[in-house]
């Protein structure tokens, strides 16, 4: 699968997050080929543990369309979503999830709890992992190497 242009936009949001000292994760919500919302991690800046890129982008997209359900929307994110973000993706009824690097420790889509595969999951988006995985992972490794 070729890399969608929207993954480039998510990668840019991740770069901007890193420049602010945040863990470099970026997300973009798209509907009908147009970006509704974009965000990078802001947990430190906002002093909010829920300010993950996915959560911020989902909130902004819902506000933009005036609906908590993002039924015809796709989410592009540079890192496999955590349990909190996977739950929000399900509740928002995101149509498709495209993510970059897998997260064996904190991911909840193809790793960990595999939330979308649970019988209690309300909605399962179509999932496409591994888009720009190398670039996403390299950005994270570089960020954390600089912290050690």
What are phi and psi for residue 115, nearest 5 degrees? -50, -40
Annotated binding-site residue? 52: yes
Catalytic residue chosen out of the listed positions 54, 68, 80, 134: 54
Which has the closest alpha carbon to 53: 95, 111, 11?
Answer: 11
Measured between alpha carbons, how far is 22 from 98 in angstroms, rounded to an integer?
21
Catalytic: 22?
no
Token pair recorded at residue 88: 């929000």
Could you list the residues known to form a binding site for Zn(2+), using ranges: 52, 82, 85
Could you list the residues known to form a binding site, using ranges: 52, 82, 85
Q: What are the catalytic residues?
A: 54
């Amino acid at each position: 699968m070729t890399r969608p242009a929207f993954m480039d936009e998510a990668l840019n949001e991740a770069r901007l997050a890193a420049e602010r000292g945040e863990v470099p994760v970026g997300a973009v919500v798209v509907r009908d080929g147009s970006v509704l919302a974009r965000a990078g991690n802001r947990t430190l800046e906002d002093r909010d543990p829920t300010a993950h890129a996915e959560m911020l982008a989902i909130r902004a997209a819902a506000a933009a369309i005036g609906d908590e359900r993002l039924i015809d929307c796709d989410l592009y994110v540079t890192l496999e979503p955590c349990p909190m973000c996977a739950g929000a993706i399900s509740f928002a009824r995101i149509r498709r999830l495209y993510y970059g690097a897998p997260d064996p420790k904190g991911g909840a889509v193809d790793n960990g709890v595999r939330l979308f595969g649970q019988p209690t999951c309300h909605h399962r988006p179509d999932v496409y992992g591994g888009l720009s995985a190398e670039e996403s992972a390299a950005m994270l490794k570089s960020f954390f190497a600089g912290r050690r």
